[in-house]
Amino acid sequence: GSGKSTVARCLMNIYQPAQGEIWYKDVNICDKKEFKKYKKMLQTRRQMIFQDSASSLNQKMRVSDIITEPMRIQHITPPRGSFVKEAAFQMEYVGLENSFLDRYPSELSGGQRQRVAIARSLCMEPEFLVADEPIASLDVSIQAQIVNLLLDLREQKSLTYLLISHDLSMVRHLSDRILVMYLGEVVEESTAQELYTHPLHPYTKALIAAIPIPDPKVERARPRSVLQGQVPSPVDPPPGCRFAGRCPYATDRCRAEKPELCDMGGGHRVACHLCR
């Protein structure tokens, strides 16, 4: 409920934001006239991988048609001669055999479906990929394969990702910069290295403290710090700091005055009265 997927959908023009602007390559994509003018560029360069591959793939279409559907919609001639050849090429990139070309999504495993979803996004030769919880619906054994695939593709195709996740271990593994959101607002922004070694916001600290340690003895022995209190309704957020109801350091000022994002140096920004 922090608004991660909503931001992603705004970035992809699936939702129109109620306020503010989003700029992509000098184009204000929230401006309808500008969006219309650059629609083709925006709809090819930006692609999205959805969380649930079972519902994001059309169950009545074959894999080859799913992968090349964006090209058909945008009237793009397949560079490799035919749509089937194009689908086979993209499948090779994501580690799927050609024997899957004529299958339907219901005949695939969760990991295979997610690979098809990634291949579909790659067929437009994007430069910016929004991946919304790309491994959340997968078995743990498959998650590492998809994360490694995303890493390889980033290098091979010089892609920029906006990765949305609540899996902090994966975020650390894949990200250069991280934004932490709470109840619809960014509360901290930093490089991945800085955020994990010097978190400043109490919410970020609590999140990082909750990452499991893969050693049962150490994990059992470490002190627990569980956030108390309820998450307020995003429809009717409290005045002041939205985290105040759960923050162990909250003061009267926090409940009355909203903290702004402040630059703490080196691009590390935080919204907390304690950090000023």
Q: Identify whether the C-beta of residue 265 lies closer than 8 Å to the C-beta of residue 254.
A: no
Using CB under 6 A, which of the segments 10-18, 120-128, 130-138, 241-249 binds ligand SF4? 241-249
Interface pick for ligand SF4 out of 8, 162, 170, 244 (rule CB under 6 A) = 244
Query: In what side-by-side order are the strands of the sheet with 46-49?
Result: 46-49, 128-132, 160-164
27 forms bridges with which residues in the sheet?
24
181 binds ligand SF4 (CB under 6 A): no
CA atoms of 174 and 151, how far apart (whole Å): 7
Torsions phi, psi for 187 (to 5 deg): -105, -20
253 sits in which H/E element: helix 252-256
Number of shown-chain residues binding ligand SF4 (CB under 6 A): 13
Q: Identify whether the C-beta of residue 28 lies closer than 8 Å to the C-beta of residue 34.
A: yes
45 sits in which H/E element: helix 39-45
Q: How far is the CB of 232 from ligand SF4 (least distance, A)?
A: 12
| DSSP assigned state of 227 | P
Interface pick for ligand SF4 out of 2, 121, 243, 268 (rule CB under 6 A) = 243
Tell which positions 60-79 bind ligand SF4, by CB under 6 A: none
CA atoms of 174 and 160, how far apart (whole Å): 11
Interface pick for ligand SF4 out of 131, 183, 202, 204 (rule CB under 6 A) = 202
Q: Which is nearer to ligand SF4, 95 or 245 (CB)?
A: 245
Q: How far is the CB of 275 from ligand SF4 (least distance, A)?
A: 7
239 binds ligand SF4 (CB under 6 A): no
Using CB under 6 A, which of the segments 17-25, 72-80, 83-91, 239-247 binds ligand SF4? 239-247
Which residues contact ligand SF4 (rule: CB under 6 A)?
A: 201-202, 241, 243-244, 247, 249-250, 254, 259, 272-274
